[in-house]
């Protein structure tokens, strides 16, 4: 991936010195925000960091992402650093990274403003028992990104319901940035957790249907949408949307195709 587009979109004055990428452990220059001339160094750092992360070498990946942050103080380096801290159960440190990623306008990016980033932060805040902060982050996107979801009161905690909705959103929707690391199996784990927390929520079952569409399992997707539409006393908005989604799926008489399908917008 070319990370230059993230730097360009920041639209800030560049303060930098030129120089080739020499040692990953000791960057030759310290930058406030990198320019186009620093993209080879940034791309090399990110490639090495991603490789270390994929192999489970979190200590090395952490150091490399921190170096990338010197050039690009936001975006993917900060998101991936937060992910490392979550893997290592350093939840307070992960929260600090999400907080800077989402709320620091000086180093903001499309990743920090993405609804899926927000929902991942919501899940972390719930783990940390920070209900009122979770409500604020949750409310920042759900009202217009996914109309029809419930509001939450900062004075009336409902951890399970919010967590179920956040898990379902992470599972069913693609982030706006292109290189999301979540696999189909990881998304399924989010769906399973959402169903465990709130098995009678029509939106959660609608998201399960979207997961099946993504996995290329149209028969199972149709069944999930029909389950959502049939839940007694469930939210009528999502029941109607689930019913409409089920009607759009025309199952062939032969075996279903295994080609993944993109998630539909609500």
CATH of domain 1-104: 1.25.40.10
Looking at residues 201-206, what average pLDDT do you find?
96
User: What string of H, E and C letters represents the secondary structure of the chain?
Assistant: CCCHHHHHHHCCCCECCCCCCCCCCCCCCCCCECCHHHHHHHHHHHHHHHHHHHCCCHHHHHHHHHHHHHHCCCHHHHHHHHHHHHHCCCHHHHHHHHHHHHHCHHHCCCCCCCHHHHHHHHHHHHHCCCHHHHHHHHHHHHHHHCCCCCCCCCCCCCHHHHHHHHHHHHHHCCCCCCCCCCCHHHHHHHHHHHHHHCCCCHHHHHHHHHHHHHCCCHHHHHHHHHHHHHCCCCCHHHHHHHHHHHHHCCCCCCCCCCCCCCCCCC
Burial class (CB in 10 A: 0-12, 13-18, 19+), 29: middle
pLDDT band (50, 70, 90) for residue 108: low
What pLDDT score does 7 carry? 37
What pLDDT score does 252 carry? 87
What pLDDT score does 24 carry? 31
pLDDT band (50, 70, 90) for residue 11: very low
What is the pTM for the complete model shown? Answer: 0.78
Mean pLDDT: which of 52-66, 142-156, 174-188 is highest? Answer: 52-66
* C-alpha 54 chain-centroid distance: 18
CB-based contact 235:252 (threshold 8 Å): no
Looking at residues 121-136, what average pLDDT do you find?
97
What residue segments make up the domains of the chain, in order of their start? Answer: 1-104
* C-alpha 123 chain-centroid distance: 11
Give yes or no for residue 212 having a pLDDT over 50: yes
Of the chain, the percentage scoring pLDDT greater than 70 comes to: 78
What pLDDT score does 142 carry? 67
pLDDT band (50, 70, 90) for residue 45: very high
Give yes or no for residue 105 having a pLDDT over 50: yes
């Amino acid at each position: 991936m070319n990370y230059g587009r993230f730097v360009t979109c920041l639209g800030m004055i560049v303060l930098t010195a030129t120089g080739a990428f020499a040692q990953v452990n000791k960057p030759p220059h310290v930058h406030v925000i990198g320019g186009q001339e620093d993209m080879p160094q940034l791309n090399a750092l990110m490639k090495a960091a991603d490789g270390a992360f994929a192999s489970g070498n979190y200590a090395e990946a952490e150091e490399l992402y921190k170096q990338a942050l010197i050039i690009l103080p936001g975006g993917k380096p900060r998101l991936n650093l937060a992910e490392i801290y979550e893997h290592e159960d350093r939840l307070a440190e992960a929260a600090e990274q999400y907080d800077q990623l989402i709320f620091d306008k000086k180093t903001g990016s499309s990743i920090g403003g993405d609804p899926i980033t927000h929902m991942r932060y919501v899940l972390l805040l719930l783990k940390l028992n920070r209900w009122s902060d979770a409500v604020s982050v949750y409310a920042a996107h759900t009202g217009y990104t996914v109309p029809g979801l419930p509001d939450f009161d900062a004075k009336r905690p409902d951890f399970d319901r919010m967590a179920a909705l956040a898990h379902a959103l992470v599972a069913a929707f693609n982030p706006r940035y292109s290189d999301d690391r979540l696999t189909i199996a990881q998304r399924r784990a989010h769906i399973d957790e959402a169903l465990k927390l709130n098995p009678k929520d029509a939106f959660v079952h609608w998201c399960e249907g979207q997961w099946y569409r993504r996995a290329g399992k149209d028969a199972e997707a149709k069944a999930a949408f029909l389950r959502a539409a049939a839940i007694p006393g469930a939210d009528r908005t999502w029941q109607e949307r689930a019913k409409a989604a089920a009607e759009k799926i025309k199952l062939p008489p032969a075996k279903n195709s295994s080609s993944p399908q993109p998630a539909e917008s609500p």
